[in-house]
Every structure is written in structure tokens, then in C-alpha cells.
Amino acid sequence: MDVNTIEASKDTFEAEFLHIFNVASGAQPIMLFHPTLSRLKFLLPRPLLLAVDANIAQLLKLGQFAVDCIKNYHRNKNEKGHAKFDHPVIFDSLEDRTDAHKGSIAAEFLVAGSDTSALTITYALYYITANPTIREKLMKELLEVMPTADTNPTLNQLEQLPYLTGVVKECLRMACPVPGRLPRIVPNDKPLIVDGKVVPPGTLVGMSAYNMHFSESLWGPDVNEFNPDRWLGASGRGLDHWLAPFSKGSRACIGQNLATAEIYMAVACLFRRFNFSLPPGAKLGDKCDHFTVFLSQPGLPLSCKPKLK
């Protein structure tokens, strides 16, 4: 299955499929603050629903794409019941689930891990390209495991590179794809003590990852600067406690290992295989917080040329 995000727009990346994610993000405030209205909408007949809310049509397209993924999987199964691909497919482990359940999981994979990881990689493209010193340090380290541009490193190899690891963590800190408060309820078994104050069981609490990621008391006076070096050495190891792009604890993002792996691979392969440049005065677009973050247009103007070796 292919969503044709490149072919859909020859001059930009404004493909319809990507627009759906912005629509989904923009619907979050209504879902959170008017849950009854959201439920009532979906009780309406589909034609009336589409007339009431044009954005619903975009979301339904995403759901249909997930259903099409299931159909494509069934068409390509071999005699052993597994898809005829040269790599594992998530649906292979979901054979005991209904197609509706599989479709929901497919939609979750598409939505939950797309814009957030893409935003983090966009931050990497901008800050590394804008800073020649950072780019040179990164390239020197990447050459150790990618001596040629077509070398395919393993994830384990990349995770052993200290500077690349610092770059990935700093991108996650600066991008902060889910910046707002995530509601949690204090358990009934014992009170929560915060800064010497008792928060009773049953209390709804929340913490903004953005506030924590940009606290000068935690990160120092250069908190607003992209500085991968802060993660190196003994002092850097202590900073992991304050890094929470995926939240923490039992309700942390279930896909954080996959997302981190994607960022490692994308940053390493993009900068080892392409030369990037920014036009004069180029800046990242403004952050728009719709539960997840997306950048205002034009996003990030960037030029790239493939490396010959």
C-alpha cells in the first residue's frame, strides 16, 4: 500500500494524506472539551455527518485506508497464512483479532507515530543543517559505521554512537511533539507527595512536558539552544530523568522504542547520504499546539543533493 505523499504534490509536501493528520489534531479540543457532541456526531447517518462537519470526510478517508491495508494483507497471504513480504508484518501476530480490530490498530499506527516522529526529524534537519559544527561532529561519527553512503547500519550500531544519541535526545527535547498536560489520576492506594505537598487520591493532575523541557533550572542558561553536547559524559546521563517526550510510567507511549529507532535511522541515513542547505534567513515555522504539534507554513524550506560517496 502506498499513500503517494510525494507524487500527490510535485512542488510541496502538502499531500491530502498529510492534511488528514492536521485535521485529526485540530479535532482534539472538541473531543476533549465537548465529548458528548463528538459522540452525537457519529450517531448521525453518514451523509448528514459529512454535511455537518466537512473535516469528518478527511478522517473517514484515513479509516478507509486502514481497511484497505487489511484487504491488501489478506490478498497477499501465502499458504501458511502469512503475508508474502521479505519482512515481518504486524498483522501476522493479530490473526485471532477481527478485521475491525486490525483496522483500528492500523489507524493507530498511522496516526500515533507519524506527525510526532516527523516533527522531531524536521527539528534535526533544521538544527543540524543550520549549525556546521554540529554537522561536522555528526558526520565524523557516522563515518565510523557508514564508511560509504550506501552502507546500511544496524540500529544497535547507531545507538552506540554517543554524539548521534545526543542529537536524537536533543531533538526530542526541543521538538516536544506532545507539549501539553496529559491528565493522570492519583491512585487510591496512597497520596501523591509533590514538593512536600500532599495531593489526595483521586485528584486529576497533569504535567506539561514543554515546561519541563524548557526549564532553565533543569537545563541551564542555554536551555533554548540546540546543544547535543549537553548529553555527553557523566552530567549528561542525569538529564534523562527530565526528558519526557513520550511521558513516563505505566501510561507512557507504547510506541516510544519504535519512534526512537525511526529517528536514529532517519537522522543517520539522511545526513550520511545527502547534503542539506537552508536558504538565507530560513527558520522553522511557528509551533501550533493541537495536542500534537505541527508547524505553520511553509514548515521548513530545505534543499538537498545526494552525496556521491
Do 270 and 167 share a structural domain? yes
Do 215 and 92 share a structural domain? no
Question: Considering the chain, what percentage of its residues have pLDDT values greater than 70?
Answer: 85
The verdict on residue 39 lying in a domain is yes
Poorest-confidence range of 39-48, 89-98, 139-148?
39-48
> What is the C-alpha separation between 62 and 238, in angstroms, rounded?
41
How many C-beta atoms surround the C-beta of residue 131 within 10 A? 16
Residue 59 amino acid letter: L
Greatest mean pLDDT among 38-42, 170-174, 202-206, 284-288 lies in: 170-174
The verdict on residue 239 lying in a domain is yes
Poorest-confidence range of 180-184, 188-192, 242-246, 291-295?
291-295
Do 163 and 141 share a structural domain? yes
Do 201 and 99 share a structural domain? no
For residues 147-157, give the mean pLDDT. 95
Binding-site members for heme are 253
Do 120 and 92 share a structural domain? no
SS3 193: strand
pLDDT at residue 82 in the model: 60
Binding-site members are 253
How many C-beta atoms surround the C-beta of residue 260 within 10 A? 20
At 111, which helix (H) or strand (E)?
helix 99-112
Greatest mean pLDDT among 38-47, 52-61, 150-159, 190-199 lies in: 150-159
SS3 281: coil
Nearest to 95 by CA among 75, 70, 119, 65: 70
Specify the long-range contacts of residues 23-28, CB closer than 8 Å, at least 24 apart: 23/55, 23/58, 23/59, 24/58, 24/59, 24/62, 24/111, 25/115, 25/290, 25/291, 25/292, 25/294, 26/55, 26/290, 27/55, 27/59, 28/290, 28/291, 28/292
For residues 24-41, give the mean pLDDT. 71
The verdict on residue 10 lying in a domain is no
The verdict on residue 8 lying in a domain is no
Greatest mean pLDDT among 5-19, 21-35, 176-190 lies in: 176-190
For residues 242-270, give the mean pLDDT. 93
For residues 110-118, give the mean pLDDT. 81
Of residues 208 and 12, more confidence is placed in 208
Angle at 20 between CA 294 and CA 42, to 5 degrees: 120
For residues 138-149, give the mean pLDDT. 96
Do 207 and 266 share a structural domain? yes
Please say which residue of 63, 92, 112 terminates a domain: 112
Greatest mean pLDDT among 10-19, 21-30, 224-233 lies in: 224-233
Q: CA 138, 144, 145, 146: dihedral to nearest 10 degrees?
A: 70
* Number of domains comprising the chain: 2
Do 244 and 145 share a structural domain? yes
The verdict on residue 50 lying in a domain is yes
Reply yes or no on whether the pLDDT at 236 is more than 80.
Answer: yes
For residues 279-283, give the mean pLDDT. 88
The verdict on residue 6 lying in a domain is no
| Span 69-86, pLDDT tens digits | 888 888 877 656 666 677
- For residue 243, the enclosing domain spans 115-306
Do 219 and 178 share a structural domain? yes
Residue 34 amino acid letter: H
Nearest to 258 by CA among 135, 147, 114, 140: 114
Greatest mean pLDDT among 62-76, 155-169, 269-283 lies in: 155-169
> What is the C-alpha separation between 249 and 182, in angstroms, rounded?
12
Do 147 and 86 share a structural domain? no
How many C-beta atoms surround the C-beta of residue 41 within 10 A? 15
> Quick one: DSSP state of residue 292?
E
The enclosing domain of 259 has a CATH number of 1.10.630.10
Please say which residue of 54, 84, 112 terminates a domain: 112
pLDDT at residue 1 in the model: 45
Query: Taking the mean position of all CA atoms in its chain, how far away is CA 33?
Result: 24
Maximum alpha-carbon separation in the chain? 63
The verdict on residue 1 lying in a domain is no
Peptide bond into 177 cis (omega under 30): no
Please say which residue of 57, 84, 112 terminates a domain: 112
Of residues 223 and 301, more confidence is placed in 223
pLDDT at residue 78 in the model: 63
Do 42 and 107 share a structural domain? yes
Do 161 and 57 share a structural domain? no
> Quick one: DSSP state of residue 286?
P
The verdict on residue 151 lying in a domain is yes
pLDDT at residue 6 in the model: 61
Do 123 and 103 share a structural domain? no
Q: CA 198, 201, 202, 205: dihedral to nearest 10 degrees?
A: 40
Question: How sure is the predictor about 54, in pLDDT bands with cuts at 50, 70 and 90?
Answer: low
